Amino acid sequence: MMAFYSDVYVLPLPEGHKFPITKYRLVRDGLVANGIVQPSELYLSEPVSPEVVKLAHAPHYVDAVLHGTVDRMIMRRIGFPWTSELVIRSFTIVGGAIASAEEALESGFAGNLAGGTHHALYDAGEGFCVFNDLAVVVRYLFSQKLVGRVAVIDLDVHQGNGTAAILGGRDDVYLFSMHGAKNYPFRKVPSTVDIDLADNTSDDEYLGILERELPKIVAWKPDIVLFQAGVDPLREDTLGRLALSMEGLARRDEMVFCACKQHGIPVSVAMGGGYAKPVHLTVQAHIQTYRVLRHIYG
Ligand SMILES: [Zn+2]
């Protein structure tokens, strides 16, 4: 398996910043320490060119990110201070996402150990998302004529508003989002299928809905699935409001991977959110996604 990573994923943040930025390195280290990903299977993510990001984002916004001239209100909504490290990180996450998708098309599956930045809109970032790696990947794959149809399975607890805003309404993109009804973003943008979940939704209900919906997605015959595997539906998550167990998350990931494998659909995994306190439960859940992936694909 190929997993894409770069040390620039760990953004230097001001002391006391609430984003659990250390999780990226902890997940990478945990994957290697547990033998789930061999050191030789870790590939360096490279920053993508601004032109590629502009396939899905307003050129003036991409240039403003590059030059540090993003509107102050937008930077506040993003939630990270503008730094040169943020610029490099943002372009590198998209680079890793594209590399992962291309590898998935080659070998069947791959992952980027970051990304799933699904809140970024066409001309503005928000919610810790600068660029929307999912939207750029979709536009890039189409521009290169690598695929005819793409499905995005977004199981982060927050709705994929940015992805829907950029890609919604296309008949060659199937956007599936399952998320907390009362959670951020408070203005949701319609996906192809949105499942709004009540607070404290637990394993049985969640997995029952997923079991009902997954066959419809694979029956649509996408050429690739982009899986936003956020682990913030976990009960212990501080921003999640749902009540999935660690085992429930494992079953969730297993269902997605099995459905893709059974139908011969390549899958590229993006990390998505996770805000458990302490952070180790989030890290454990992200590692578990790859353990399940390895188990299903061998
Ligand atoms: Zn989230």
Digit-by-digit pLDDT tens for the chain (298 residues) are: 999 999 999 999 999 999 999 999 999 999 999 999 999 999 999 999 999 999 999 999 999 999 999 999 999 999 999 999 999 999 999 999 999 999 999 999 999 999 999 999 999 999 999 999 999 999 999 999 999 999 999 999 999 999 999 999 999 999 999 999 999 999 999 999 999 999 999 999 999 999 999 999 999 999 999 999 999 999 999 999 999 999 999 999 999 999 999 999 999 999 999 999 889 999 999 999 999 999 999 8
Give me the DSSP letters along 235-256.
TTBTTT--BB-HHHHHHHHHHH
Q: Ligand 1 center to residue 236 CA distance, Å?
A: 13
* Dist. CA 230 → ligand 1 center (Å): 6
Q: Which CATH architecture has domain 31-297?
A: 3-Layer(aba) Sandwich (3.40)
Q: What is the pLDDT of residue 71?
A: 98
CA distance 270 to 228: 5
Which backbone phi and psi does 173 adopt, to 5 degrees? -130, 130
Are the C-beta atoms of 43 and 4 separated by less than 8 Å?
Answer: yes
Predicted TM-score (pTM) of this structure: 0.98
Write down the domain spans for the chain: 31-297
Residues measured by CB to lie within 5 Å of ligand 1, the ion: 156, 158, 230, 232, 273
Count CB neighbours of 24 within 10 A.
23
**Phi and psi of 44, rounded to 5°?**
-75, 125
Rounded distance between C-alpha atoms, residue 246 and residue 258, angstroms: 18
CA of 272 to the centre of ligand 1 (A): 6
Between the CA of 145 and the centroid of ligand 1 the distance, in Å, is: 30
Beta-bridge partners for 150:
173, 224
Q: How much is the pLDDT for 129?
A: 98
User: How confident is the model at residue 278, as a pLDDT?
Assistant: 85
Supply the residues annotated as catalytic. 119
Which stretch of DSSP H or E encloses residue 194? Answer: strand 193-197
Are the CB atoms for 120 and 128 separated by under 8 Å?
no
> CA-CA distance, 85 to 297, in Å (whole number)?
35
Find the 231 Cα to ligand 1 centroid distance in Å: 8
